[in-house]
Structure 1
Amino acid sequence: MIGTLDFSPDRVSPPGDTIIDLMDEHGLTDAELSKKIGLSVLKGQQLLLGNLSLNECMALKLQDIFNVSVEFWLKREGAYREHIEHLNAVNKEWLESLPVKDMVNYGWIPKASTRELKFKHCLDFFGIKSVNDFTYKMENDAPLVAFRKSLSLKTVPMADLAWIVKAKKISNSHACKLWSKETLISLLPDIRRLSNEPDIKKFIPQLKEIFAKAGVSFVVLPTPSGCRASGATCFFKPNHATLIVSFRHLTDDHFWFTLFHEIGHLILHDAINIRIEGETELSSKEEVEADQFAIDTLIPKPFQRKIKDFRAKDWKVIVRTAKKIGISKGIVVGHLQHIGNVPYSHLNRLKVRYKKDDII
């Protein structure tokens, strides 16, 4: 979690910066100063850079050279080291708040052999140079502000944020037309028919093509550890919608219901917030509306009335009815489980199960 971190400057200059100013006033070179202090030229340069600690012996010699007190130099050194220690702690906390292992496994960032390199890769992932840049970006980047405001939490769930940022990168690389709610509505039958295709490698590319016609970037992205999202909708760009699915539940009923639930948000609700299913606390009205949209689109009301009394023993009728509806039998089973007609332990053999390796 990073939301509780206070702002602190990324850089407090080392005592070497003051030494350099005084060297210029006195006309001293690196080599001359190093000799006067009793250091090699290399160590003298390290002192100026802040990589070598300034001790009391060095402070006494600097006092003699520049007529600046020992107390000043030791206080300057102490403040610098305290800042470095604090900055390292902040960076460590930020890095540990991220699902780095999964970010590497999913190929979001390169593998690193050191903490420093791992930290750099994570900064690059967010397009920032420091943790302070991250704080600034969360407060000023419009999509991330929408993400932050969509959560009624005091801290930012970093796994969710990493998932959203990666989705944004993928979405921005997609070519699609301008967002059109009317076009998306007209394409609903085409999307719905694809629920009968069990092969994920076939229907995902087709979904991407269909959504692109309506100005929707369709992103399939597994969640890292700590992120429990099943789907999300957002507008990273004003005229382009993004719909993200995670396949968190690897069955066709969960996938298609989630997909149409997200479509419901795009069609029924405003384009301001980033909505993350499974994490955010949306108004019950919006959630109920999106749920009902998904149910009514997948199983029209006449068929809802027809199947409302089906039980597990009616599995053959369920299969025949699904064909009449024009959707997969797994979706019908999932709906019957949801309304309590069929136990969640029954008829799962009628669902299509997807392989995680086909998604990553």
Structure 2
Amino acid sequence: MINFEPNWTSSPGNTINDILNSRNIGVATFAEKIDESTDLVLKLIEGSIKINKELASKLSTELGASPLFWINREVQYRDLLKINQPKLLSNWISSLPIKDMIKFGWIKGVENLEKECLNYFGISDVHSYYKKYPNVNSLSFRKTDTYKSDLAAIFSWIRRGEILSDNYPLNEWNRQKFLDSLDEIKTLTREKNPKKFLPKLISTCAGCGVVLTIVPTPKNCPVSGVVKFIDNRALIQMSFRYLSDDQFWFTFFHEAGHLILHNPENPILETNKSDIDEKENEANAFAQEVLIPYYLKEEMMSIRGNKKKIVGFSVKAGVSPGIVVGQLQHLKIIKFEYLNGYKRRYNWSDINETLGSLNLL
């Protein structure tokens, strides 16, 4: 037997995880040792199942300490949860962008607010929220760093995309089909009105097993787009930030690049800064190549600020003039305040009307 000095305010699962890490024992190996499924061990570590007498005996045999230790560890932790739950719940709700969640129709209102918020996130208590959304590392963001970022607002935004994804009829995720569809999708960049291009874009993506959700951002959520996987479904979620064609389409193809380039079977993890930078750079390069192929780059850069040539080149490249202007600005060929009149501006009225007609609001 070994001596334990556990942190009684953390879950028994944290203690189990710490021991496994210290002994370099993987979850699958440990599951085999105690004759349980890997899924059960993962749930045990995250605290979503309780330690009963049988599990306590197995933990004692493999990890040490007595079965009574593990039973007491479980009981004391659950008691502590009950004591702290009201305060935790109040603090959690105060962190959420409640005004915007009501404004956007994500929750009904302030009446029964606790129940509304728990139902919105599909959880029974606050602890389940922090287990489900521990940090941003499992998501790949294209974020505007000049604005304040609030994790509670970001997770509220992401949750809306998860909810909306249930309304999408989808084919199975098909990486090659999605890659092949990008040329067809690119032609939509020349459509001026979201009423015309959004239904086609959403339908084409769905045919490749990709959910495309459009969700406005609450306050302190400066996110342009995020890509993730829900079960075996790929999700691209976009905010239509800036409401301009160059921003929208670059973000879309950036996120498409993540799906195609970065292990689509798993979420893109942002745990290593150099790895994040590399993946973001690859996704940026992918988007740029789709919009303005490399063989046209030199010609585009020679345009500089010539208005007539911009229009002609946009036809040749198969994109809108606004996208060409956006790329010239990004490459610092022209100033950011120059030629913005070529960019197409969208409005939420048209966007919402379109999404409403598709039952995707």
Q: What are the ranges of 5 or more consecutive residues in structure 2 without an aligned counterpart? A: 1-8, 12-79, 142-148, 353-361
State the partner residue of 1:129. Answer: 124
Say yes or no: does 1:259 pair with 2:252. yes
TM superposition shift of 1:252 = 0.3
Residues 50-129 of structure 1: matches in 2 within 5 Å? 86-113=84-111, 117-129=112-124
Say yes or no: does 1:321 pair with 2:313. yes
Q: Structure 1 residues 193, 309: closer, same or farther in 2, change over 3 A?
A: same
State the partner residue of 2:243. Answer: 250
- SS of corresponding position for 2:234: strand
State the partner residue of 1:228. Answer: 222
TM superposition shift of 1:85 = 8.2
Structure 1 residue corresponding to 2:200, chosen from 199, 206, 211 = 206
TM superposition shift of 1:107 = 0.7
Q: Structure 1 residues 355, 7: closer, same or farther in 2, change over 3 A?
A: farther
Worse overlay, 262-271 or 85-94: 85-94
TM superposition shift of 1:347 = 0.4
CA RMSD of aligned residues (A): 2.7
Q: Percent identity?
A: 35
Q: Distance in 1 between matches of 2:118 and 2:210?
A: 28
In the alignment, is the contact (CA less than 8 A) between 2:139 and 2:226 conserved in 1? Answer: no
Q: Distance in 1 between matches of 2:177 and 2:140?
A: 30
In the alignment, is the contact (CA less than 8 A) between 1:234 and 1:275 conserved in 2? Answer: no
Q: Distance in 1 between matches of 2:283 and 2:128?
A: 36
Q: Distance in 1 between matches of 2:201 and 2:90?
A: 41
Q: Distance in 2 between matches of 1:289 and 1:241?
A: 19
TM superposition shift of 1:163 = 1.2
Q: Distance in 2 between matches of 1:99 and 1:281?
A: 32
State the partner residue of 1:57. Answer: none
TM superposition shift of 1:326 = 1.1
State the partner residue of 2:294. Answer: 301
TM-score scaled to structure 1, two decimals?
0.68
TM superposition shift of 1:159 = 1.1
Structure 1 residue corresponding to 2:167, chosen from 163, 173, 186 = 173
In the alignment, is the contact (CA less than 8 A) between 2:323 and 2:343 conserved in 1? Answer: yes
TM superposition shift of 1:88 = 3.2
Q: Structure 1 residues 150, 302: closer, same or farther in 2, change over 3 A?
A: closer
Say yes or no: does 1:343 pair with 2:335. yes
TM-score scaled to structure 2, two decimals?
0.68
State the partner residue of 1:310. Answer: 303
Q: Distance in 2 between matches of 1:274 and 1:100?
A: 29
Q: Distance in 2 between matches of 1:163 and 1:285?
A: 26
State the partner residue of 1:197. Answer: 191
Q: Distance in 2 between matches of 1:163 and 1:7?
A: 28
Say yes or no: does 1:217 pair with 2:211. yes
Q: Distance in 1 between matches of 2:206 and 2:296?
A: 30
Q: Distance in 2 between matches of 1:342 and 1:275?
A: 35
Q: Distance in 2 between matches of 1:86 and 1:185?
A: 49
Q: Structure 1 residues 323, 275: closer, same or farther in 2, change over 3 A?
A: farther
| Alignment deviations for residues 304-336 of structure 1 (CA, whole Å, 9 cap, x no partner) | 110112222x01111111011111000000000
State the partner residue of 2:326. Answer: 334
| Alignment deviations for residues 25-50 of structure 1 (CA, whole Å, 9 cap, x no partner) | xxxxxxxxxxxxxxxxxxxxxxxxxx
In the alignment, is the contact (CA less than 8 A) between 1:160 and 1:227 conserved in 2? Answer: yes
Q: Structure 1 residues 7, 121: closer, same or farther in 2, change over 3 A?
A: farther
In the alignment, is the contact (CA less than 8 A) between 1:234 and 1:241 conserved in 2? Answer: yes
Give 1:129's aligned amino acid. Answer: S
Q: Structure 1 residues 150, 216: closer, same or farther in 2, change over 3 A?
A: closer
Give 1:166's aligned amino acid. Answer: R
| Alignment deviations for residues 137-182 of structure 1 (CA, whole Å, 9 cap, x no partner) | x2xxxxx579554489xx9811111111111111122111001111
TM superposition shift of 1:359 = 3.3
Say yes or no: does 1:159 pair with 2:157. no
